[in-house]
Structure formats: C-alpha cells, structure tokens
Amino acid sequence: MGFTAPYTGSMGARVEAFEPGYARVSLRDRRAVRNHLKSVHAIALTNLAELASGLALTGALPPGTRGIPVALSITFMKKARGRLVAECRTTLPAIVGPVDHEVTAAIRDASGDEVARASVTWKLAPLP
C-alpha cells in the first residue's frame, strides 16, 4: 500500500479483509497517529475511512472503469483510542457514463463502539 499511496502507507494501517465491494482495515493506536488529546488524530481517522472505502470500491470496479474521490465528509462520535477497525461495503451502480457514487465507512474501537463514520463520494466513469 505504501508504494502505491505513500501518504496512506505512512499511517501503518493493515488490510484485514479485501474482496470486491468489501474492505476491513485496522490501525494500531500509537504516538505517530495521536493528537494532543491522547487519542487518534482526526485526519488519521479520515485517512483510514477513505482507505476502506477506496479498497471496497476499486476492488469492485469492472475492467475499463476508474474511480476518484470527489467529496468526503466525516462525523466523529467519540475519542478514538486503542486498535481501530474501519469497514466498508458497497455495491456499484451501472457505469455507462460518469456517475457519482456515495460510499460509507464506519470506524469502531475494540469495544465495538463507532468512533467515526465517513461518507466518500466517488466519481466513477468508463476509461476514455
């Protein structure tokens, strides 16, 4: 991952499950991803959610199509501490021309509490 997307790779997330339309990635809580409040930084959470959405979505793309994120919003429910897991599941619309497709990724802590939820809008299109 770090070779393809160096910034995302710097976070140290682990891909635990990956199949077309589904991804589960985890992140260890360590100093490099923490903020001054002794919790995982908001941007690390955002990056983790975007990674899960991107893997789920691009893994499902048929040959001859591409996707790029064009919008992202995230809601933080509680301080994120400990090992975190982001999950995303999506099904694709028909891609006969450019189309926006919203994908949601949820991040949970070790107790199963949802700490953040991101909505990523992907622009999908056939390759030129």
Summarize pLDDT for 63-122 with one digit per residue, the tens: 999 999 999 999 999 999 999 999 999 999 999 999 999 999 999 999 999 999 999 999
Higher pLDDT, 105 or 6: 105
Position 6 pLDDT exceeds 80: no
Position 56 pLDDT exceeds 80: yes
Domains of the chain: 6-126 (3.10.129.10)
What's the whole-number average pLDDT of the chain? 92
Percent of the chain with pLDDT over 70: 97
The mean per-residue pLDDT over the stretch 13-23 comes to 95
User: Of 89, 124, 114, whose CA–CA distance to 104 is shortest?
Assistant: 89
**pLDDT, position 33:** 84
How far is 5 from 7, CA to CA, in rounded Å? 6
